[in-house]
A = this chain, B = another copy of it.
């Protein structure tokens, strides 16, 4: 998949992997890899700024902790974040339907299906 493909849909992806449990940035990247069967391998320079953006937008709340000597920032979905996730899912379904409708090859009128 080309690098830019997730543009405009990254927020939904991040919110989705935080739905079941809070995760820190690195774990979010790994979760996206796992759930996508390896297709998504987002660079840290994409994910970390996005997390800060989502936190600034109050869709996530982040807390620092130290685990095995390493600093972690763990993000949890806020109530607004859960709401936004629902919205992202709805938008995705609409957009996906539009893409399918337009991309599907058109049959000439009267052509057998």
Contacts and interface: CB of A to CB of B under 8 A. Distances in A.
Interface of A: 1-2, 4-9, 12-13, 16-17, 19-20, 32, 35-37, 39-40, 88-89, 91-92, 94-96, 98-103, 105-106, 108
A32 B102 CA distance: 7
Q: Taking the full assembly, how many copies of this chain does it contain?
A: 2
Nearest to A13: B102
Contact of A37 (B13, B99, B101): B101
Contact of A98 (B20, B40, B98, B105): B40
A102 B5 contact: no
Contact of A16 (B1, B8, B96, B102): B102
A101 B36 contact: yes
A67 B97 CA distance: 34
A54 to B, nearest CB: 16
B36 A1 contact: no
